[in-house]
Structure formats: C-alpha cells, structure tokens
C-alpha cells in the first residue's frame, strides 16, 4: 500500500510527525504506515476503497511509487518496504481493522 534524496533519514521526529499530519490531511479516509525503504523512512498510504491501491511518499511528501495491484501498476519500491508500523487507520474501514491513530493525526 513513493526523487532526489529518498526518505527521512536526516529528519527529526517532529519532521516525521509534520509530514504524517500533512499526508493525513489529504488522506483522512485511509490506512497510513511508516516504513523503512533502503534504510530510510517513508510513508505508505492505502485508500479505504476497494481496488484503490496505495501510494508511497518520502518525508518531503514527494510521491515515490504506486502500489495498485488491482490495476497492475506496482512500482518496485512496493516490494522493498520493511518494518512497517501502522500509525493511522480510519474508523469503519474496508479491512475490518480497528481504528488506529497512534500519532494522534486526527487531533
């Protein structure tokens, strides 16, 4: 569920949160994960809609890739994410998962 310098490796925790908040503001109806890609931190956003696919962003909110398996548009980065931590899941989602707001993005 993505060019320049990729990721957040030089960012501070406050920068991660600011980026996550900006991504959340554009993707409130989603699942947001904080992942590692080649030793750098990225955000993976999956829309709460069937066949919607996902998008991977770096910490400057630049799109790094698209992970749309239903439409067969899957960038290589989609297969290289590791250590993903869920930081937000919208309530009443299609995945049947409980709502999560670990970083308090909705506040």
| First and final C-alpha spacing in the chain | 24
pTM score, whole prediction? 0.87
Over residues 22-73, the pLDDT tens digits come to: 999 999 999 999 999 999 999 999 999 998 889 999 999 999 999 998 888 8
More confident site: 15 or 35 = 35
Average pLDDT, the chain: 90
- The answer for residues whose C-beta is within 8 angstroms of residue 3's C-beta and 6 or more apart is 62, 64
Rounded Cα distance between 98 and 69, Å, is 24
Q: How far is CA 45 from CA 28, 56, in A?
A: 10, 6
Q: What is the percentage of the chain residues whose pLDDT exceeds 90?
A: 77
């Amino acid at each position: 569920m993505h060019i320049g310098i990729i990721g957040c490796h030089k960012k501070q925790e406050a920068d991660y949160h600011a980026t996550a908040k900006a991504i959340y503001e554009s993707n409130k109806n989603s699942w947001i994960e904080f992942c590692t890609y080649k030793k750098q931190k990225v955000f993976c956003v999956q829309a709460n809609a069937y066949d919607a696919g996902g998008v991977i962003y770096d910490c400057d909110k630049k799109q790094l890739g698209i992970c749309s398996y239903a439409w067969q548009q899957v960038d290589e980065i989609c297969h290289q994410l590791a250590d993903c931590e869920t930081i937000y899941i919208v309530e009443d989602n299609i995945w049947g998962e409980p709502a999560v707001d670990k970083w308090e993005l909705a506040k």
